[in-house]
């Protein structure tokens, strides 16, 4: 990930580099490694993400913003990949 031939300014935090470009993300970034030398903590990290997300969904209510109703449609910027259109939502503590 610090190879300047693959990423411009590799030491600078720039999440947009993962969303754009012609190179496949799978070929350039493998955060947990592959094969028998892969990270032992991958399953722990995935389990923790599952627990954190579950706890957040239990403790908070997520609803659409009544001032800006949601129109459901997808945006296809590159012709192959669908992503949802941006929208506003409200997060409040669960009662």
87 carries a ligand binding annotation: no
Q: How far apart are CA 31 and CA 21, in angstroms?
A: 19
**Residues forming beta bridges with residue 75, ordered by sequence position:** 83
Residue-wise pLDDT tens digits, 23-62: 555 556 677 777 888 888 888 999 999 999 999 999 999 8
The pLDDT score that the predictor gives to residue 80 is 63
Range list of β-strands (E), the chain = 60-64, 74-75, 83-84, 89-93
Q: Is the pLDDT of residue 65 over 90?
A: no
Q: Are 63 and 90 in contact (CB under 8 A)?
A: yes
């Amino acid at each position: 990930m610090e190879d300047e031939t693959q990423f411009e300014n590799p030491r600078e935090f720039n999440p947009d580099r993962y969303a754009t470009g012609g190179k496949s993300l799978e070929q350039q970034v493998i955060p947990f490694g592959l094969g028998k030398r892969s990270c032992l903590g991958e399953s722990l990290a995935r389990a923790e993400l599952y627990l954190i997300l579950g706890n957040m969904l239990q403790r908070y209510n997520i609803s659409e913003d009544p001032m800006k109703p949601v129109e459901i449609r997808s945006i296809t910027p590159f012709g192959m990949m669908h992503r949802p259109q941006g929208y506003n939502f409200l997060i409040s503590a669960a009662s």
